[in-house]
A = this chain, B = another copy of it.
């Protein structure tokens, strides 16, 4: 069987195609482009490698797959062993391609919450012109806790630092040395002690059994009155009913969710009407940003070199850890 790389990316350009073709040919592969996952299901048996936005069905149907390089950063749904016909199939993700755009989203929504931009937008839509009663707030002097100190958390911290926050603490699973972008790095075990001193809680966690429900009702109650919550990881990390109560009851001053359960969020879901909730449709890691597109392709090309020379993949995922 010919050595084939199956490619399914929705932002394919002639340039990317040329680069992928050249890299494939260099190592005796042919690249085969599918317009979408649907067209690839059952037709990818010749693919030793798959790159891109592949559905679970494509992966499950690819009998000779040895490596799936996923264009997304969050790969929780690709971590089940039973998905793969070949138990040793490698999985890599594109963590590292999304830090820039998600960090920009995080700064944007944090400022929108602190500055009450949703209320000002509503005032402008009603064709008014006024300064709202009550205070706005600032990233300056804000105590920020970032749950998740990977690419996204660290890129956010690098930008947030320029706003001179009072504290910028990263929280991670293990006690490994943290990214210097943070003032301090703590472990998840210390989270309960940190929450009462957090004005802005930023969540950028992968979806794993450990992170599911991590922002529980009890932990929301530990945040000081008037705090803000922002989540760009996975919706499952937050107890959404408790969040709605905390917003509508005034314990939280606002929240911004780019990820929810379920997605797409039904039109009549109670999150849609929660007070001071800034909702975006899972677009923080927006692959319509050319920078992100470029980066995912570069990361694949880099790991293709590793793959063909038998070196470990730089962006490999430990399927047992989910990231």
Contact = CB atoms under 8 A, between A and B. Distances in A.
A287 B161 CA distance: 23
Contact of A291 (B141, B281, B288, B290): B141
A111 interface: yes
Interface string A156-197: 001101111000000000000000000000000000000000
A210 interface: no
Contacts of A136: 101, 283, 286, 288-289
A7 to B, nearest CB: 20
B265 A138 contact: no
A305 interface: no
A86 interface: no
A151 B282 CA distance: 36
B108 A112 contact: yes
A128 interface: yes
Contacts of A123: 281
Interface in A238-263: 263
A318 interface: no
B281 A128 contact: yes
A28 to B, nearest CB: 35
A100 interface: yes
A49 B161 CA distance: 39
- State the oligomeric state as a number of copies: 2
Contacts of A310: none
Contact of A104 (B105, B139, B267, B281): B139
Contact of A286 (B115, B127, B161): B115
Interface string A96-137: 000011001101100110110100110110011111101111
A36 to B, nearest CB: 15
A264 B267 CA distance: 36
A193 to B, nearest CB: 26
B104 A134 contact: no
B131 A283 contact: yes
A129 B289 contact: no
A115 B114 CA distance: 19
A279 B111 contact: no
A124 B279 contact: yes
A276 to B, nearest CB: 13
Contacts of A314: none
A282 to B, nearest CB: 8
A138 B291 contact: yes
A140 interface: yes
**Top 3 closest pairs, chain A to chain B, by CB:** A129-B264, A162-B162, A108-B111
23 contacts: A100-B164, A104-B115, A104-B139, A107-B111, A108-B111, A108-B112, A108-B115, A117-B280, A120-B281, A121-B121, A123-B281, A124-B280, A129-B264, A130-B264, A131-B282, A132-B288, A135-B290, A136-B283, A136-B286, A136-B288, A141-B291, A159-B159, A159-B163
